A = this chain, B = another copy of it.
Amino acid sequence: MAILLSNDDGITAFGLQALSDAVATLDEIWIVAPDRNQSAVSHALTLQRPLRIEQVGERRYAVDGTPTDCVNLAINGILPQRPRLLISGINHGANLGDDVTYSGTVSAAMEATLLGVPAIAISQLGSEPFDFGTAVQFVHQLAATVLRDGIPADTLLNVNVPDGAASRIKGFQLTRQGKRRYSDAVVENVDPRGKKYYWIGGGEADFVAAEGTDFSAIHSGRISVTPLHLDLTNYVSLQSLQSIQIRFP
Cβ contacts A167-207/B at 8 Å (1 or 0 each)? 10101101111001010111011000001111111000000
Binding site for B on A (CB under 8 A): 37, 39-48, 50-53, 68-69, 72-73, 76-77, 98, 100-102, 107, 110, 114-116, 137-138, 141-142, 145, 149, 151-152, 154-155, 166-167, 169, 171-172, 174-177, 180, 182, 184-186, 188-189, 195-201, 223, 225-238, 240-242, 244-249
Residues of B with C-beta under 8 A to A231: 176-177, 234
Contact (Cβ within 8 A) B45 A232: no
Contact (Cβ within 8 A) B48 A198: no
Residues of B with C-beta under 8 A to A151: 237, 241
Count of identical protomers in the assembly: 2
Known A43-B101, A233-B226; judge A51-B248 contact (CB<8 A): no
Contact (Cβ within 8 A) A199 B44: no
Residues of B with C-beta under 8 A to A155: 234, 237
Q: A185's closest neighbor in chain B, by CB?
A: B76
- How far is B247's CA from A180's CA once the two chains are assembled, in angstroms? 31
Residues of B with C-beta under 8 A to A45: 40, 42, 102, 200-201
- How far is B47's CA from A142's CA once the two chains are assembled, in angstroms? 31
Give the distance to chain B from A99, nearest Cβ to Cβ, in Å.
9
Contact (Cβ within 8 A) B174 A244: yes
Contact (Cβ within 8 A) A41 B44: yes
Give the distance to chain B from A203, nearest Cβ to Cβ, in Å.
9
Q: Can you list 25 contacts pairing A with B, beta carbon distance less than 8 Å?
A: A37-B48, A40-B44, A42-B44, A43-B43, A45-B200, A45-B201, A50-B189, A50-B198, A52-B197, A68-B102, A73-B198, A76-B184, A76-B186, A101-B110, A101-B114, A114-B182, A142-B248, A145-B245, A152-B241, A154-B234, A169-B249, A172-B248, A175-B238, A229-B237, A232-B232
Contact (Cβ within 8 A) A240 B141: no
Residues of B with C-beta under 8 A to A189: 50
- How far is B102's CA from A45's CA once the two chains are assembled, in angstroms? 7
Known A101-B43, A145-B246, A232-B229; judge A51-B199 contact (CB<8 A): yes
Give the distance to chain B from A172, nearest Cβ to Cβ, in Å.
6
Contact (Cβ within 8 A) A152 B101: no
